[in-house]
Amino acid sequence: MSFDITGRGSFEQLYAAPTATATATIGDLMEDEMGGRWRYCKAGAAITNPLYAAGNYSQPSDCSVTATVVGSFTIPCTSLTVYDTVAVNQFAKGTIIIGAAAANRRWYHIKSNPVAADDDVTVTLYHPVRYAIAGTEWATLIPSPWYDVRPLAGDGYMSACCMPMQPVDSGYYFWGKTRGPIFGVAGTQPGAVASDRYVVFADDGAMIMADESWGASTSKQPCGWLIPRTMGTYAAGDQTVWLQIE
């Protein structure tokens, strides 16, 4: 089972209006003609300002796994600690960690899952189980980072997972940008000082220069680097950044 890669996408596709029903699988990957990278996302809350990075709200869940033989492409998971119900493909493009003896611990990539009306779900993998699962191991299900995308503001426990590029209603599907040229809200004008080129995300998803966060009580997530020459004779308002979320 090869990992799905959508391939090259046109800007008409990538900037298309968000939809209430999915037209691709969460986490699907597209690249545009300028070297940008995009992921198919689902908004878990309304995104009203696309000039701020949006965050990954999907939460990992401890669970139990039933006995599974070597070579199996499915793992039955029971007693999820976070989710009472599971939507179809909620864990697609996510991962599951199986905790066993140190040499047998494994990290498997999830291809799909069916809908589940309770806290049990069977996940289908991209690659087969390497070591037999006895059913006594601990396990953690980690959803796709792009399944439940929300504004970063107000929740310091999320990481930026994309730039939405347009407003998105809650529950709608869209292509979010993860790499390539972008423009966003900045705390101070980036590049105002010579050799000031590295950009990070503030807690609300705005962009700030990396040195603005030095000495703070928390570390900031990398965003990318400034594209144009800045300030002096060549200054031209707010600057564009080469996004590097992935």
Residues 125-140: pLDDT tens digits? 999 999 999 999 999 9
Instruction: Write out pLDDT tens, residues 12-33.
Output: 999 999 999 999 989 999 999 8
Q: Which residues pair with 168 in a beta bridge?
A: 47
| Whole-number Å distance between alpha carbons of 246 and 244 | 5
Q: Which of 8-17, 32-41, 173-182, 207-216 has the lowest mean pLDDT?
A: 207-216
151 forms beta bridges with: 54
Residues 183-203 have a mean pLDDT of: 83
Q: Give percent helix, percent strand, percent coil of the chain, each to the nearest 5.
A: 5, 35, 60
Domain residue spans of the chain: 7-57+147-180, 61-142, 198-244
**Cα–Cα distance measured from residue 231 to residue 48, given in angstroms and rounded to the nearest whole number:** 30
Q: Does domain 61-142 have CATH number 2.30.230?
A: no
- Reported confidence tier of residue 233, pLDDT bands at 50, 70, 90: low
Rounded to whole angstroms, how far apart are CA atoms 217 and 238?
A: 27
How many Cα atoms occupy the beta-carbon half-sphere of 205 within 13 Å?
A: 27
- Whole-number CA gyration radius for the chain: 20
Quickly count helices (H) and strands (E) in the chain.
1, 17
**pLDDT above 60 (res 1):** no
Q: Which residues contact 102 (CB under 8 A, 6 or more apart)?
A: none
